[in-house]
Copies of this chain bind each other. A is one copy, B any other.
Amino acid sequence: MAAVAGVTTRRSRLTPEREAELYEAVLDLLREVGYEALTMDAVASRTRSSKATLYRQWGSKPELVVMALRHHKPISTADVDTGSLRGDFHALVGRQDDCRMAEDAALMRGIAMEMKSNPDLHRAFRELLIEPEITGLGQVLRRAVERGEVEADRPALDFVVHMMVGAYVARQMIDGASVDRDFLLRYLDAVVLPALGA
């Protein structure tokens, strides 16, 4: 905290802990009020730092938000390998907690509006929240194809991430409820696995 309060030198370094704290506050605000309504004032006030510090360290709101997203650790899919596609999907869902899922859904809503008009934000969102999902799911799906569970040219293979994002976003829109493990497991069994013919 001392590194931030009353800064007089340019480019003062924040401790990694303090930086993480700031990024968490930015993500919390994104979930609560969305990108548009997130102000540097609100970040400064919530983190008890000065606006001058924020601007000195990150230059602008888009940069700060992109760095906060970059800091957000996606859940690793690398070591899931149960021997069946359904087992892998259920293991992936099983290791997420409901709270984290609701947070990620809130994050998607918080920046959804901005993505079309803000290419940097869209790129950061893609790289940090979507690409890891694509990579992780890609491994799971590749093994399913190798085992002969899914045909290699099954058209639904191109839309697995679309189906999953749909589950996250539509749950709130249609049912007015947060996505949770129970919903995702039902959706996987009812939609994703049958679409893949598995």
Q: Of the listed stretches A1-9, A90-98, A110-118, name the one at the interface; the rest are far from the partner chain.
A: A110-118
Residues of B within 8 A of A192 (CB): 195
Query: Is there a chain B Cβ closer than 8 Å to A36's Cβ?
Result: yes
In-complex Cβ contact of A166 among B109, B155, B170, B190 (8 A): B170
Which range holds the interface residue count of chain A? 35 or more
In the complex, what's the smallest C-beta–C-beta distance from A31 to chain B, in angstroms?
9
Q: Of the listed stretches A17-25, A54-62, A140-148, A156-164, name the one at the interface; the rest are far from the partner chain.
A: A156-164
Minimal Cβ-Cβ distance residue in B for A192: B195
Query: Is there a chain B Cβ closer than 8 Å to A171's Cβ?
Result: yes
Minimal Cβ-Cβ distance residue in B for A194: B195
Contact with B along A160-188 (1 / 0, CB 8 A): 01110111011111101000000000110
Residues of B within 8 A of A89 (CB): none
B162 to A187, Cβ gap below 8 A? yes
Subset of 9 A-B contacts with CB under 8 Å: A109-B112, A112-B112, A155-B189, A163-B166, A165-B166, A165-B173, A166-B170, A194-B194, A194-B196
